[in-house]
A and B are shown apart, each in its own frame.
Chain A
Amino acid sequence: MTVPVIELQDVIRKYDAGPPALQQVSLSIAAGEAVAILGPSGSGKSTLLNLVAGLDRPTSGTVTVDGVRVDELGEAASARYRRAKVGMVFQFFNLLDDLTVADNVMLPAQLAGMARGAAQRRAKELLGTLGVYRHAGAYPGRLSGGERQRVSVARALMNRPALLLADEPTGALDTASGEDVRQLLNDLHSDGQTIVLVTHDLALAEACATRTVQLVDGRVAADTTMAPAR
């Protein structure tokens, strides 16, 4: 059996008021899988993603990613974990407006201590692969939504993470750009990248994911393995 990259066991996440965001969630994701987390607003999708990314800690239960107990990490260790293991793609890109495209992409590597020259070479390679190298010296504000999300994906892949987490990656894009990003994620998965995708977009899930996990009120309502992505 394939060793799981992500393993959540009996995870509960409660906030100050209201019902728990996640209740007794257990989930295992294998390397190379592309998993779409689906569910209505408030179902706990983003909370789950944050726990896997080490941005948040469970109230109880364990979160293990690539052998690392993420739920036990302190702030500094979480940051180092994210650098090494996780690449993140956001709905609204979260590119830094005062840095050029190339500088945005290089940032995770530079935070990890990579020399500027080496980071530049890696960024050039990624931007070339993703088709946005011509924008390397531009600022994000001048790019279209699709181009920005490509830059965001390039940044996420900069440190060759074991896991790519994407939070509504097409949520802020027009149809054409959304299709563009969908294809990009498909290509990455084809190349063996493990992807966890949070989305409302069933079409995106069907196009990119090999498995869907349906969350309702913080619980796993369904866990479906799908036919291989087209």
Chain B
Amino acid sequence: MSALGRVVRSGVGRRRVQTIVIGLVVLIAVTSAVLGGSLLVAANAPFERAFAQQHGAHLTAQFDGGKITAAQLSDSAQAAGVTAAAGPFQTASINPVDDHGRDIPPMTVVGRADPSGSSVDAVSLTAGRWATAPGELVVYSDGRFRGNQRTLGRVWQMPDLPGSPSLTIVGIARSVSETAGGWVAPEQIAALTAPGAAGGYQMLYRFAAADNAAQVDTGRAAVAATLPAGALTGATSWLTTRLNAAGNTILLVPILIAFGVLGVLMAVLIVGNVIAGAVSTGTRRIGILKALGFTPTQVVRAYLAQALIPALVGAGLGVVAGSALTIPILAETNQIFGTSDSGVAPWVCAVVLAGALALVAATAWAAASRAGRLRTVDALAVGRTPTPGRGQWAARLTGRLPLPRPLTLGLAHPFARPVRSATMVAAIAFGAAAVTFAVGLGASLNQIQAADDNHGHVVVHPGPPPPGEPGAEGGTTSVQPIKPIDPAAVAKVITAQAGTAGYSGSAQTEVTVAGLANALDTLAFTGDKSAYGYRMVSGTWFTGPGEIVVATPFLTATHTRIGDSVVLTDHGTQITVRIVGEVFNTENRGMELLTALATLSAAEPDLQPMEYNVVLRPGVDPGGYAAALTVALEPLAVSAQPVESGTSSLLAVINALTALFTLLLGIVAALGVLNTVVLETRERVHDLGVHKALGMTPRQTIAMVIASVVVTGLVGGAVGAPIGVLLQRLVLGDMGRTAGFNLPDSVVHVYRPAELVLFGLGGLLIAVLGSLLPAGWAAGTRTATALRTE
């Protein structure tokens, strides 16, 4: 082994704590980066590939056939920024029933003669053939109705249209742009258009620039400007479609990026601190090495290697850990696309590995370069004695505090080494920020979960209660036919039940909206507590028929805002409604309409609630209430159960990842403190001997060392907690934007002042935990040995 190799090996071996700290911090940073990078790439890659192959539409636009002509639409292809266009294609909204009389979700069908002949949205057939004649239908493979090989040949009827026209499914096709629920021959559209309805047109556009929402909006505005006002009734951006396609895994990316950034910053900080500390405490050693003939470059390389060896091990393990975590998380994406990607992109691993090592090398070089610059004679003379004089003012000041002397001595220590103390503050701040961020994120996600789950304390369903629930008949397994509910009678019983604060009854149906290919779930409410559990982002809850409340994705997909009116088609009847509120509602990815039952009663006179959510007065036990209500409802063949909240699998994954990374970052922060306190203790070992010789007991020594990190812990916590809050806001906002939701205040503002104080004190806890080991070491140091140390 070369002389340099021996020096490096002894350096790595002698500084085990520092070596472990570097390895661990790089491991965390690389794990986060590999996981985040792989998820980002894997979540978008299948869509991107398919979109490129099919020349996907950047904008799918729906037009009112009564306000525009096909010729005008053809001219819109010349609008500024449009590089390619397809259409106009005639459209119709249909409400089919299958050959067994069962309702099929409503869908928008498009008249297209050719699946792939156009320059935009080259639809790919996955089964059967294209519809070439009236009476034939090609179904979109991934819509609300999932077409597959077995559905070929089935016949659907449209009973709400004159003559009840029928369509035979002849093909299954996939449009990555999701431009239609189904396709028919162009001449079929007329028979599928309700009498008196103007019908619609669809145009598909590709723009020169469509990388973000602003660019797509610019393109949309350019198209709209070439056409009569009001003709454009709806449009869907490819960004919305891509978002839906990416699935939930994309939501993890902002969290992982946050932890990755924290990890990288901590890695830079701690690697820099460790190497600077090694140079500082090894000044005499450096002097000896140089006196023996080591060149400055060799000395720098020796210290560089001391950082790079553990970093290489940490980075390698980080790649393995990141890859191992990526695979199970991506199972969901694979399901969506039917792909079998392992999810681990080798180039992501390579980039992260190279980036991490480059960062460590640069940081270590910056810290180690001082070792190269040190003059041999100075290094030999200075040795490890710290420069006197610094921090004397602090010692004088703390000496006047009415505290035991060991504490006041310790409190002054950070001021003797301000730069080192600043790095310790930063390490603690990152740790406190990670804890604050993680707890806040968890609270926000639980709020989101609560917003999804909690719309009452007791739920009332038709039929008897399930086995095991209060009022259930033991041992009965036979399926009883569910009788229709008598809404008025059920409402009367609920209202009369002691403990009822209010209730909402909800009926579920589907409607279509111009510009959206798929039908939308719609919840139509009765009762006085329909708003219970819903978190408003802006606007108000509906107060009567004709008003709807929607989530952000709906507003985005339809390019509408609060106050706008939209036209719903429900069983062939067109209903104009006004959007009065934006609600945080993640059901059906936010594509769900909430309205009063009366809004749809003209289109669906038979629509009635199939579920009731009961809100209880404070202090009422939901279990007892549900049992009593079930008894009261028995004659109506309806039963009640208390609402139980569950945790979604995605939330569980996020919580687990957040806890894992927080724990690791907390440990690294504590190790950063430990490393610094070890350095401090080594440098002060002679003073420690003096203190002990003068009568300082081991307990007083421990108190002094712990006190030396109190100020840095408090400052680090005070700095870190607000950073954590800021990070929570940034990540949550980014997650919301990624998912396409604006978030209500109750989800974002989750910190109480007292909690923030506790998070600030978390910095102190990290500092104290990190100092315990060196404090014990200091207390156990033999006085005579310490006194001999110079």
A residues near B (Cβ < 8 Å) are: 50, 53, 55-56, 75-76, 79-80, 82-84, 88, 90, 94, 96-100, 103, 107-108, 110-113, 116, 139, 141, 155, 159
Chain B residues within 8 Å of A97, by CB: 388-389
From B395, which residue of chain A is reached at the shortest CB distance? A98
A99→B389 CA distance, assembly (Å):
9
Q: Is the CB of A82 within 8 A of B395?
A: no
Total interface residues in chain B, CB < 8 Å: 35
A171→B645 CA distance, assembly (Å):
80
User: Is B726 in the interface zone, CB < 8 Å from A?
Assistant: no
Q: Is the CB of B784 within 8 A of A103?
A: no
A133 to chain B, nearest CB (A): 18
A107→B392 CA distance, assembly (Å):
15
Q: Is the CB of B693 within 8 A of A55?
A: yes
From B698, which residue of chain A is reached at the shortest CB distance? A75
Chain B residues within 8 Å of A139, by CB: 388-389, 392
Contact status of A50 and B784, CB under 8 A, knowing A94-B693, A111-B695: yes
A68 to chain B, nearest CB (A): 14
From B695, which residue of chain A is reached at the shortest CB distance? A83
User: 0/1 per residue, B659-677, Cβ < 8 Å to A?
Assistant: 0000000000000000000
A159→B694 CA distance, assembly (Å):
10
A59 to chain B, nearest CB (A): 14
From B790, which residue of chain A is reached at the shortest CB distance? A92
Chain A residues within 8 Å of B693, by CB: 53, 55, 82, 88, 94
A53→B694 CA distance, assembly (Å):
10
A138 to chain B, nearest CB (A): 11
Q: Is the CB of A155 within 8 A of B388?
A: no
The B interface, classified by DSSP as helix, strand, loop or mixed, is helix
From A96, which residue of chain B is reached at the shortest CB distance? B687
From A50, which residue of chain B is reached at the shortest CB distance? B784
User: Is B334 in the interface zone, CB < 8 Å from A?
Assistant: no
A80→B392 CA distance, assembly (Å):
27
Q: Is the CB of B695 within 8 A of A112?
A: yes
Chain A residues within 8 Å of B695, by CB: 79-80, 82-84, 108, 111-112, 159
Q: Is the CB of B389 within 8 A of A111?
A: no
User: Is B405 in the interface zone, CB < 8 Å from A?
Assistant: yes
Chain A residues within 8 Å of B698, by CB: 75-76, 79
Contact status of A56 and B784, CB under 8 A, knowing A98-B391, A111-B694: yes
A111→B416 CA distance, assembly (Å):
21
User: Is B260 in the interface zone, CB < 8 Å from A?
Assistant: no
A213→B416 CA distance, assembly (Å):
43
A113→B697 CA distance, assembly (Å):
12
Contact status of A108 and B391, CB under 8 A, knowing A103-B396, A103-B399: no
User: Is B274 in the interface zone, CB < 8 Å from A?
Assistant: no
Chain A residues within 8 Å of B691, by CB: 96, 107, 111
A141→B698 CA distance, assembly (Å):
28
Q: Is the CB of A76 within 8 A of B388?
A: no
The 3 closest A-B pairs by CB, nearest first: A83-B695, A110-B405, A97-B388
B residues near A (Cβ < 8 Å) are: 388-392, 395-396, 399-400, 402, 404-406, 412, 416, 686-687, 689-700, 779-780, 782-784, 787
Chain A residues within 8 Å of B400, by CB: 116
A96→B691 CA distance, assembly (Å):
9
The A interface, classified by DSSP as helix, strand, loop or mixed, is helix
A132→B502 CA distance, assembly (Å):
86
From B396, which residue of chain A is reached at the shortest CB distance? A100
A114 to chain B, nearest CB (A): 9
B416 to chain A, nearest CB (A): 6
4 additional contacts (CB under 8 A) given A79-B695, A99-B392, A100-B396 = A75-B697, A79-B696, A99-B399, A155-B694
A76→B698 CA distance, assembly (Å):
6
Chain B residues within 8 Å of A155, by CB: 694
A113→B782 CA distance, assembly (Å):
23
A76→B783 CA distance, assembly (Å):
12
Chain B residues within 8 Å of A111, by CB: 405-406, 691, 694-697, 700
15 A-B pairs in the complex with CB atoms less than 8 angstroms apart: A75-B780, A76-B699, A94-B686, A94-B689, A96-B690, A97-B389, A98-B389, A100-B396, A103-B395, A110-B404, A111-B405, A113-B404, A116-B400, A141-B388, A155-B694
Q: Is the CB of B389 within 8 A of A141?
A: yes
Chain B residues within 8 Å of A110, by CB: 404-405
Q: Is the CB of A94 within 8 A of B690?
A: yes
Chain B residues within 8 Å of A76, by CB: 697-699
Q: Is the CB of B416 within 8 A of A98?
A: yes
A192→B396 CA distance, assembly (Å):
35
Q: Is the CB of A98 within 8 A of B399?
A: no
A107 to chain B, nearest CB (A): 6
Chain A residues within 8 Å of B700, by CB: 79, 111
Chain B residues within 8 Å of A90, by CB: 787
A97→B783 CA distance, assembly (Å):
19
Chain A residues within 8 Å of B416, by CB: 98
Chain B residues within 8 Å of A75, by CB: 697-698, 779-780
From A107, which residue of chain B is reached at the shortest CB distance? B694
A84→B778 CA distance, assembly (Å):
22
A111→B695 CA distance, assembly (Å):
7
Chain B residues within 8 Å of A107, by CB: 405, 691, 694
Q: Is the CB of B395 within 8 A of A83?
A: no
A54 to chain B, nearest CB (A): 8
A199 to chain B, nearest CB (A): 17
From A49, which residue of chain B is reached at the shortest CB distance? B784
Chain A residues within 8 Å of B390, by CB: 98
Q: Is the CB of A79 within 8 A of B396?
A: no
Q: Which one of A83, A88, A98 has the greatest number of beta carbons of chain B within 10 Å?
A: A98
Contact status of A55 and B783, CB under 8 A, knowing A76-B699, A82-B695, A111-B405: yes
A75→B696 CA distance, assembly (Å):
10
A103→B412 CA distance, assembly (Å):
13
A83→B405 CA distance, assembly (Å):
14
A141 to chain B, nearest CB (A): 6
Name the contact of A98 in the complex, choosing from B404, B405, B412, B779 (C-beta under 8 A).
Answer: B412
Q: Is the CB of A79 within 8 A of B692?
A: yes
A39→B696 CA distance, assembly (Å):
30
